[in-house]
Every structure is written in C-alpha cells, then in structure tokens.
Structure 1
C-alpha cells in the first residue's frame, strides 16, 4: 500500500500542538504546515514578527548608492522554500470564501483588478500577512480566529451612539 504526503504529514505531526495551531489558519494544509515547521524549527525563537519576516526573506530592502535611492522590494535573502510555502498558502487562502486574507487581497487590487503587477504585489502582501499570522498564532498558542478587516463607513463613532444614545 502507499500513503500520500498529506496522510504521512498527519501521521507524523497530527498530535503536535504547533501543527494543530497552523492547520487552523486558512490556506495551510498538512503539507504547508509540515514545511513551515521543518523549515523554521521552533517559531518561538523569533521574539517579534519582523524577525520571522526577515528569516523568510519577506522584509523590505532598498537599493541605495550615493544620492540614488531605488524602490523598496522584498529582500529575498531568507529561506526560499519557506517564502514559496507562504506564497502558496496565501494564494490558497485568497481562494477560500471569506477570510481576512481574501479581504485584504480584494482591497489591494480594487483599483485595477486586471493589472498583473498589482496582483503580484497583492500576493506578496498576503504572503507577508500569512507569515505575521503564523507567528502570532504560534506565539499566542491560540488557534486562528478570523478577523475581518474593514473600513468603517464614517471612520468614527458619534458620541451619542458610543454612549448608547443620550
């Protein structure tokens, strides 16, 4: 008989708390969870999500020389396998019905849905958000709770509404 990679990942890691926490995040299946754990080791060693982003190569870097200052781009100096896994997990999360990853993607591409450069940048932003979410879930030890980002219509709450109507 032959087992699939997914079955083997569940068999090896199914009882580990970090694996179970990662599986609560949209877009992270058994193989992505296995890859993240294998490539990062203990995520708790990163005190801040920026350290984890740098490890993944998702931090911003700007090329400079004399008076010239280029555009900021992701550095790509980190772990390429981990960066690819975050990218794939982000793409999968965006395809799911409703979650904060899809909401952010939709807002990012709203100005020009068919611009391939804008879509690529949106997927990069989603991959970085995926890394921050992974870090937060592992650090807190709590399963992923969907949080829907949204812009409030007026941006403010009036005093009468905030106090229950005076």
Structure 2
C-alpha cells in the first residue's frame, strides 16, 4: 500500500511540475502580448510605396538583447577584430524568428557571413534563449542618408 502511495505522490509531483511549467510559459506569453511594438521607420522611404513585408516590426526591448549579444561577442574577439567588423553593425529590427542587421558594404557582409555569423547567432541564442535567423543587409551612402538599405528599395 505504501508503495502505491509513493507512486501516486511521485505522479502528482510530476503533474505539478508540468502545470508550473505551463503556467510559466503562459506568463511569458502574456508579457510578450503586453510589450510595446513599433515599426522601424528607417526601412520605409517617405516618397515610395513599399510592401508591408519590408516593415520591420520589433519589440522595443529586443534592442537590449542585441546590445548584450554584442557585449558577448566583444569578449570573444580581439579589440581590432571587434572594432573592424562588429562595432559598425546596425540593428534594424526583428520579428519572431529573425533579426535584420545592416553593414556598410558587400565586403563586410561577406566576411561577417563567413567568419562571424555563427558567433552572432550563438550570442543571440545565449541572451534570448532562442535561435534567430540573422539577415544581413548592405547600406550604401544614399541608404545611410535616407535611413534605408539598398535591398529594401528594390
């Protein structure tokens, strides 16, 4: 009889842990729903019509995640490498599954994709607890002045 009671108690503990886990996830979802979201206007030209999928909607708190990820990256690289390749990356926005960043030119984009993309993704995962696809856009002189990326104007 005692053995049966112990088994029942263990099963109840397992159910309680499951309920607690579900409750925690629900609280996180409620928090996400209550956060302030906004559209990053840098990607929207004032004189052109652009498809809505070019708008980058992102959680205003994700910028903090990005900044913390950059600090992790900085700790992993030499000062010269960080200042040359990572420091000038601009965070443009995110959605549920990806983030968009911009770099100054095609050469930087290629090098970052080849050498630093996995480090960027791992740092984001370490901070956010989620794997993000990182999309890299290239700024050009006009794009920087208008706050647009050349890929967005196509």
Global fold match (TM > 0.5):
no
TM-score (norm 1): 0.23
**Structure in which a larger fraction of residues adopt helix:** 2
